[in-house]
Structure 1
Amino acid sequence: MSLDYEIFDLGDFTLQRGATLRGAHLAYKTFGTLSAKRDNAIVYPTWYSGQHMDNEWLVGTGMALDPEKYFIIIPNMIGNGLSSSPSNTAEPYNAARFPKVTAYDNVRAQHRLVTEKFGIERLPLVVGWSMGALQTFHWGAMFPDMVERIAPFCGSAKCSRHNFVFLEGVKAALTADAAWNEGWYEKKPERGLRAMARVYAGWGFSQAFYREELDLKTLGFSSLEDFLVAFWEGFFLPKDANNLLTMLWTWQNGDISDNHLYNGDFKAALAAIKAKAFVMPGRTDLYFPPEDSAFEVANMPNAELVPIESIWGHFAGGPGTNPVDVAFLDAKLKELLAS
């Protein structure tokens, strides 16, 4: 079976929290052709539990992320099962021993891919949904002279306290399964994954989404229970529990100022982002509310708040679920790229 992605070897990669992943690697996929001047590359990181193929809905001929114009790089997040992860790392850092990985680590690794593999010095755009937005903000703050534009949508530059609490509920549901066995499971903790999916279901879409019965009328499920089982449980059951917990820790500890560049000064980190930015929260997103984005924009020198007026909650931003929201997002990306 031929893989639809490539591997970039990071070698011995020392993480922010002190561990070294030996033989670390990033999985990535590219679309289009890098120009002779190497000035047409767009970085589009993945999101919580997602892999590169889950980003492809925003790439296409005639769209903002057009492979005929741009060289689009989708790097897989560490912990997502394709890049270095608990599920594919050899002992002793396998499974529950896999080390803590930050968004800073992810973007440092991606920067190496972009510069060492492709020789790129300027990026016209970095864009991402959810945890992809977290990485997008990191690109802007960590490499302000390299990144010309950013478009983080339905995500934040720092995990809010409320968002942290929501994720504690997700984690508790997954790890309450006896089969989880502190991460040393011999068969997948199916009950925990199903429970996690049910917790998530109350957060991924808005109250209005459920009130309007869009799960039935638009997505075509036969009942609310059918939606919970077929969509949500079906979404999480194929995924590895330790991988999910690794990415969850990365999310909870997301903060563009938590590094030697900014030493925890969040406003200074936001102020350092030179890129022209469209920060696009979902109007009804339950874990990345527009108020958090408004604070970010108020502290960024070149940013605009562009809410996605949608009742699809967090899923206004992806993964390509609602065509109306996709069209809005794509139009805004075209506008940003043209500016």
Structure 2
Amino acid sequence: MDYAIFDAGDVTLQSGATIRDCKLAYKTFGTLNAAADNAVVYPTWYSGQHYDNEWLVGSGRTLDPAKYFVIIPNMLGNGLSSSPSNTPEPYNAARFPKVTAYDNVRLQHRLVTEKFGIKKLPLVTGWSMGALQTFHWGALYPDMVERIAPFCGSAKCSRHNFVFLEGVKAALTADAAFNDGWYTTKPAKGLRAMARVYAGWGFSQAFYREELDLKTLGYSSLEDFLVAFWEGFFLPKDPNNLLTMLWTWQNGDISANELYHGDFKKALGAIKARAYVMPGKTDLYFPPEDSAFEVAHMPRAQLILVDSIWGHFAGGPGTNPVDCDFIDAKLAELLAS
């Protein structure tokens, strides 16, 4: 096991349910300095675990462990932190409670402050649902977070994004083997169907037009890409875990809490951090227009377009080196400011 567990005890969620003996899995890189002011929080994304974030951390990268103490907390529901797949009865499997991004970030804040004694964060950054959590850090702890860099993600799940996710969910749960979440054998048919739905959205129209699945990623045909890349991506994952994180994604909203009472513009305006908001030019989930709205209502934010035809995958997980280097350089720029 290359990660640690923060034992959070009994955690009451926004939904009113309590995860007893709640566990937050995390991995750190580097060393916290004496002043405890070199920590970077880098949350995980939909279905991802800390391993999937490591492409942005390392010697020669901006998030160099020789300089920064990088904390990668695993989302609730991702199979390492408390999840449907590892929680004992009665809150196991389909009974695992609804978890929000707010719940995740409140728990991460406890890790950062209680475990490490950190009072200031020079940076919080993340891709996709990691970006959603990054925005939450900025809005929930404006005096603690100095900079945020959410890339290819949003501060609130858009209506169109919600609808897309309904299609993903319908494909997965239509498999008879799913059995309302009480499956005894893996609903592979549903996972494969879900992968096929996702495949049309994760990469852009231009990505497919230019045949980058063949020419750059090296698959032998479009069908090979759909099976080997996409079905291969989802088949190892637990369906209830996927649905838990999907609900978190659909209900993402930095204003849905006791601080902002649903006032989205107020929540954006409360983010004091210097912000680089980096949408992908061809991202079908999180189009640049949504990011432009967010930036317009944030006091210290800049819109930086990732000019790429790799769609949502311009932001990760290390798939296109050119985009990775661009994002890395922007993190360096932001940290130097």
- Counterpart for residue 44 of structure 1: 42
* Alignment partners' CA distance in 1, 2:66 and 2:248: 34
CA distance in 1, matches of 2:39, 2:186: 39
From 83, 92, 95, the counterpart of 1:94: 92
1:80-159 to 2 correspondence within 5 Å? 80-159=78-157
Alignment-derived partner of residue 262 in structure 2:
264
1:186 aligns with 2:171: no
2:325 is aligned to: 327
Equivalent residue of 2:126, what SS? strand
Does residue 22 in structure 1 map to residue 20 in structure 2?
yes
Post-superposition offset of 1:247 = 0.1
Match of 2:301 in 1: 303
1:164 paired residue among 162, 165, 169: 162
Q: Cα deviation per residue 1:228-251 (whole Å; 9 max; x = unaligned)?
A: 000000000000000000000000
1:174 and 1:288 map into 2 onto residues whose CA distance is 22
Q: Which runs of 5+ in 1 are unaligned?
A: none
User: Distance between the aligned counterparts of 1:139 and 1:214, measured in 2?
Assistant: 35
Which AA in structure 2 matches 1:111?
A: H
Q: Deviations over 1:84-105 (max 9, x none)?
A: 0000000000000000000000
Structure 1 residue 281, shift from structure 2 partner = 0.1
Structure 2 CA distance for aligned equivalents of residues 311 and 331 of structure 1: 19
SS at match of 1:9: strand
- Taking the aligned partners of 1:83 and 1:261, their CA distance within structure 2 comes to 26
Query: What is the match of residue 64 of structure 1?
Result: 62
Aligned equivalent of 2:29, options 24, 31, 55: 31
Pairing 1:225–2:241 present: no
Alignment coverage as a number of residue pairs: 337
CA–CA separation in structure 2 for the residues paired with 1:52 and 1:161: 28
What stretches of structure 2 of length at least 5 have no aligned partner?
none
Shift of 1:56: 0.1
Cα deviation per residue 1:205-256 (whole Å; 9 max; x = unaligned)?
Answer: 0000000000000000000000000000000000000000000000000000
SS state of the match for residue 282, structure 1? Answer: coil
Q: Which amino acid aligns with 1:212?
A: E
Question: CA RMSD of the aligned region, Å?
Answer: 0.3
> Aligned-pair distance for 1:62?
1.8
AA at the equivalent of 1:269? A
**What corresponds to 1:254 in structure 2?**
252
Secondary structure class of the residue paired with 1:174: helix
User: 1:330 is aligned with what amino acid?
Assistant: D
Distance in 2 separating the partners of 1:304 and 1:284: 19
> What is the CA distance between 1:145 and its match in structure 2?
0.1
Amino acid at match of 1:244: L
- TM-score by length of structure 1 reads 0.99
TM-score (norm 2): 1.00
CA distance in 1: counterparts of 2:33 and 2:173, whole angstroms: 47
Partners of 1:220 and 1:206 in 2: CA distance: 17
Q: Deviations over 1:255-314 (max 9, x none)?
A: 000000000000000000000000000000001000000000000000000010000000
How far residue 57 of structure 1 moved from its aligned partner, in angstroms, is 0.1
Partners of 2:62 and 2:293 in 1: how far apart?
27
1:204 and 1:62 map into 2 onto residues whose CA distance is 28
Q: Which amino acid is the alignment partner of residue 197 of structure 2?
A: V
Secondary structure of the structure 1 residue equivalent to 2:138: helix
Partner of 1:294: 292
Q: State the SS of the aligned residue for 1:84.
A: coil
C-alpha distance in structure 2 between counterparts of 1:187 and 1:78, whole Å: 23
Deviation at 1:199, TM superposition (A): 0.1
Cα distance in 2 for residues equivalent to 1:153 and 1:245: 23
